[in-house]
A and B are shown apart, each in its own frame.
Chain A
Amino acid sequence: MSGRTLYDKIWDAHHVTDRSDGMSLLYVDRHLLHEVTSPQAFEGLRLAGRRPWRVDANLATPDHNVPTVMSERQAGVAGIADEVARIQVETLDANCRDFGIREFGINDVRQGIVHVIGPEQGATLPGMTIVCGDSHTSTHGAFAALAQGIGTSEVEHVLATQCLAQRRSRNLRVAVAGALPVGVHAKDVILAVIGAIGTAGATGHVIEFCGAAIEGLSMEGRMTVCNMSVEAGGRAGLVAVDDTTLEYLDGRPFAPRGAAWDDAVAWWRTLRSDVDAAFDRTVEIDAAGLEPQVTWGTSPELVGGIGDVVPSPSDMDDPVRAEVAARALEYMDLAPGTPLAGIPLDKVFIGSCTNARIEDLRAAAEVARRGRVRVAEALVVPGSGLVKRQAEDEGLHEIFLEAGFEWRAPGCSMCLAMNADRLLPGERCASTSNRNFEGRQGHGGRTHLVSPATAAASAIAGHLADPREAMG
């Protein structure tokens, strides 16, 4: 018999039983909640007269809808100008109060994007099963946790039963060999992977990322990679436990201490695929050949190197692909053959659960200190109150402010533009977020996905730019 993959091991350790309809029940260790996908689940729970199965498994925070302008933020929930958004945040507060769920409220320093605060608190631990009503829950897979995004019916199901009803996924191994060249970051790796396998490339699979380039990444970088697993169609992404993982977790508020830490570490050390584990598929990528990546279309797979030109749909063999590309170029208002570097921008957004951690802000600041913003608006939105505080301790906010960036309060912000941070029709933005869908950052807005370094370089150039040149 061949060995087991990391995914197989976590699955086996959480498989409760099979239901009468054949679905497997997986026990859920941690459930993260936010204001957008939970209200209907709590309502369902109430209507059925049910209580949460295990209250202390849950951790909640408002993030999608919260204003990021300091003046609006200071007044707390009551200060949210958009009434519908305010009601949603109030509803989360009320539900958490009613059911006894721990919540980091809007102005708690521990508040932030749910996928930033879980790991930051040590609420994300290796070997756990983690769910959240948000597709980017895959982020937590960087800690060798099986972390999956779920819908609202499933949120209610997990609250009521502490289980997820699922079928086993297949195993996809993505091996990234070599070392990352200077100026190339985790975001460029995952964009290149998505470009290679497509946005449906991992559908039905859990992806395990491995190889020297992944091992060389910090936890922040691994989170960026796992975060966008879902953009490749994967239900989850995983990275094996190593010293980097343990160093990050040691001493975090929710992490075990003392003897419990040692016991935990003994189990966590086993959280890697066996050498003879069988994967359904393997994809190999060489990091050494990568350039900074930038998307040119309305799907993350429509991506190229910063040195490339906008491709021509007429060169594409597959008619569906050509049609998709043609439609994307029309929406993006780009002509085939245009060099990507040099495309003029209106706005720049540095933030989101993909790239709003301290390391991302450091990388952006390193570039930002070399110039002044030459776009109409450039936002830096830290991923959590603690990231913001650390950045301020390091003086990064001064670098950003000095260069002409805005320094905001934590939240999802212009990643999905549910609050006031958004693009206007026709505006073009370089963004460190994860989705460049039509209208994602505002009705009619055009998004180019990039790394924090590329975003900062583009902000000070006024157009899409190569961060390696800015660093000169």
Chain B
Amino acid sequence: MRAFTTHRGVVAPLDRANVDTDQIIPKQFLKSIRKTGFGDNLFDAWRYLDEGVIGKTPNERLINREFVLNAPEYQGATVLLARDNFGCGSSREHAVWALLEYGFRCVIAPSFADIFATNSVNNGLLLVTLPDAAVDELFGAAARGALTVEVDLAAGRIVTAKDGAFGFETDSETRRRLLRGLDDIGLTLDCVEAIRDFERAHRARQPWIFTAPETT
């Protein structure tokens, strides 16, 4: 997993609440059996005016000039700013893969959906939860001109170029994993003996969980 320590980048303000994973990456792109190839279809139905189909490149598409990510000042943006409940809806991890492949390293919002948050940590995408007032302030600053921020995970701080600063909290487990880019499965397999012991006792208590009908 890719580590996250500090990051400096331009903020793209996506002023919407309840941005769901169907919007982040529409279902027609979920047929892939790979983890890559989703960046061009991030926010597909908002970014383009024509319907997205697998295999079409951005050059063959009708660009929606009114969508924020298509504005010249946000080209190369790596920090996404949004409203409440970002990432709600389906569990598709493809949403996180698409955000990362597009170039985002960090999303700032007042709240995030649970499964999306777990998927983000598992791929090294930092989610920063800020209070509504701070998010409002950042939207205001981004509307006045391209806003660059520096995100420092260890310090739990976001600093804007104009010397504004916002503190944010991340739970200690997530912070540790992101800072060091720790592999989730590796961490769990450090506990392999504990899992074996548990499984043995669990099987003795509830044997019916471990029996399946004959294979047909």
Residues of A within 8 A of B (CB): 14, 16-17, 19-23, 25, 27, 29-30, 36-37, 39-40, 43, 48, 50, 53-54, 56, 64-65, 82, 84-85, 87-88, 91, 102, 125, 127-128, 133-135, 149-154, 156-157, 160-163, 165, 167, 199-200, 203-204, 230, 233, 235, 253-256, 260-261, 263-264, 267, 299, 320, 323-324, 327, 416-418, 425, 435, 437-440, 443-444
In the complex, A200 Cα to B171 Cα: how many Å?
20
Contacts of A23 in B (CB 8 A): 173, 187
User: Total interface residues on B, using CB and 8 Å?
Assistant: 66
CB proximity of A71 to chain B, nearest CB, Å: 22
Which of B45, B54, B83, B210 is close to A84, meaning CB atoms less than 8 Å apart?
Answer: B54
Contact B31 A85 (CB under 8 A): yes
Contact B34 A40 (CB under 8 A): yes
Contact A439 B26 (CB under 8 A): yes
Contact A37 B27 (CB under 8 A): no
By CB atoms of chain A within 10 A, which of B31, B113, B123, B215 has the most?
B31
Contact B30 A200 (CB under 8 A): no
A-B contact count (CB 8 A): 204
Contacts of B67 in A (CB 8 A): none
Contact B122 A154 (CB under 8 A): yes
Contact A102 B215 (CB under 8 A): yes
In the complex, A17 Cα to B202 Cα: how many Å?
14
Contact A151 B185 (CB under 8 A): no
Which of B16, B89, B195 is close to A135, meaning CB atoms less than 8 Å apart?
Answer: B89
Contact A150 B31 (CB under 8 A): no
CB proximity of A137 to chain B, nearest CB, Å: 8
Q: List 5 A-B contacts (CB under 8 A).
A: A16-B198, A19-B191, A27-B202, A125-B209, A261-B208
Determine whether B93 belongs to the interface, using a CB cutoff of 8 Å to chain A.
yes
Which of B22, B190, B215 is close to A20, meaning CB atoms less than 8 Å apart?
Answer: B190
New contact pairs (10) apart from A162-B195, A417-B27, A439-B23, CB-CB < 8 Å: A125-B208, A151-B119, A154-B122, A157-B184, A165-B187, A167-B173, A200-B113, A253-B213, A324-B16, A418-B30
Contact A88 B31 (CB under 8 A): yes
Contact B122 A153 (CB under 8 A): yes
Contact A161 B208 (CB under 8 A): no
Determine whether B88 belongs to the interface, using a CB cutoff of 8 Å to chain A.
yes
CB proximity of B189 to chain A, nearest CB, Å: 6
Nearest opposing residue in chain A for B112, CB measure: A203
Which of B188, B206, B213 is close to A163, meaning CB atoms less than 8 Å apart?
Answer: B188
Nearest opposing residue in chain A for B54, CB measure: A84
Contacts of A161 in B (CB 8 A): 185, 188-189, 195
Cβ contacts B194-216/A at 8 Å (1 or 0 each):
11001100100011111111010
Contacts of A438 in B (CB 8 A): 22-23, 45
Nearest opposing residue in chain A for B86, CB measure: A200
Nearest opposing residue in chain A for B184, CB measure: A157
CB proximity of A160 to chain B, nearest CB, Å: 5
Determine whether B75 belongs to the interface, using a CB cutoff of 8 Å to chain A.
no
Which of A22, A43, A235, A320 is close to B83, meaning CB atoms less than 8 Å apart?
Answer: A320
In the complex, A102 Cα to B31 Cα: how many Å?
22
Residues of B within 8 A of A (CB): 15-18, 20, 22-23, 26-28, 30-35, 45, 51-52, 54, 83-85, 88-94, 96, 111, 113-115, 118-119, 122-123, 171-173, 176-177, 182, 184-185, 187-191, 194-195, 198-199, 202, 206-213, 215
| A23-B173, A125-B209, A320-B84 known; A204+B114 contact, CB < 8 A | yes
Contact B23 A437 (CB under 8 A): yes
Contacts of B191 in A (CB 8 A): 16-17, 19, 25
Contacts of B84 in A (CB 8 A): 200, 320
CB proximity of B136 to chain A, nearest CB, Å: 10
| A149-B115, A320-B17, A418-B27 known; A19+B190 contact, CB < 8 A | yes
Nearest opposing residue in chain B for A416, CB measure: B27
Which of B22, B88, B93, B96 is close to A200, meaning CB atoms less than 8 Å apart?
Answer: B88
In the complex, A425 Cα to B212 Cα: how many Å?
46
In the complex, A165 Cα to B176 Cα: how many Å?
14
Nearest opposing residue in chain B for A435, CB measure: B89
In the complex, A152 Cα to B16 Cα: how many Å?
26
In the complex, A37 Cα to B209 Cα: how many Å?
24
Contacts of A435 in B (CB 8 A): 20, 22, 89-90
| Shortest beta-carbon contacts, A-B, top 8 | A256-B208, A39-B33, A151-B119, A153-B122, A151-B93, A200-B85, A17-B194, A152-B93
Contacts of A152 in B (CB 8 A): 35, 93-94, 119
Contacts of A91 in B (CB 8 A): 33
Contact B187 A21 (CB under 8 A): yes
Nearest opposing residue in chain A for B172, CB measure: A22
Contacts of B195 in A (CB 8 A): 16-17, 25, 27, 53, 161-163
Contact A43 B33 (CB under 8 A): yes
In the complex, A275 Cα to B172 Cα: how many Å?
34
Nearest opposing residue in chain A for B191, CB measure: A17
Contact B208 A264 (CB under 8 A): yes
Contacts of B22 in A (CB 8 A): 416, 435, 437-440
Contact B194 A254 (CB under 8 A): no
Contacts of A85 in B (CB 8 A): 31
Contacts of A261 in B (CB 8 A): 208
In the complex, A34 Cα to B177 Cα: how many Å?
29
In the complex, A299 Cα to B31 Cα: how many Å?
24
Contact B184 A37 (CB under 8 A): no
In the complex, A17 Cα to B193 Cα: how many Å?
10
CB proximity of A469 to chain B, nearest CB, Å: 33
Contacts of B208 in A (CB 8 A): 125, 255-256, 260-261, 263-264
Nearest opposing residue in chain A for B118, CB measure: A151
In the complex, A128 Cα to B210 Cα: how many Å?
11
Which of A151, A254, A255 is close to B115, meaning CB atoms less than 8 Å apart?
Answer: A151
CB proximity of B65 to chain A, nearest CB, Å: 18
Which of B33, B111, B187 is close to A87, meaning CB atoms less than 8 Å apart?
Answer: B33
CB proximity of B64 to chain A, nearest CB, Å: 13
CB proximity of B185 to chain A, nearest CB, Å: 5
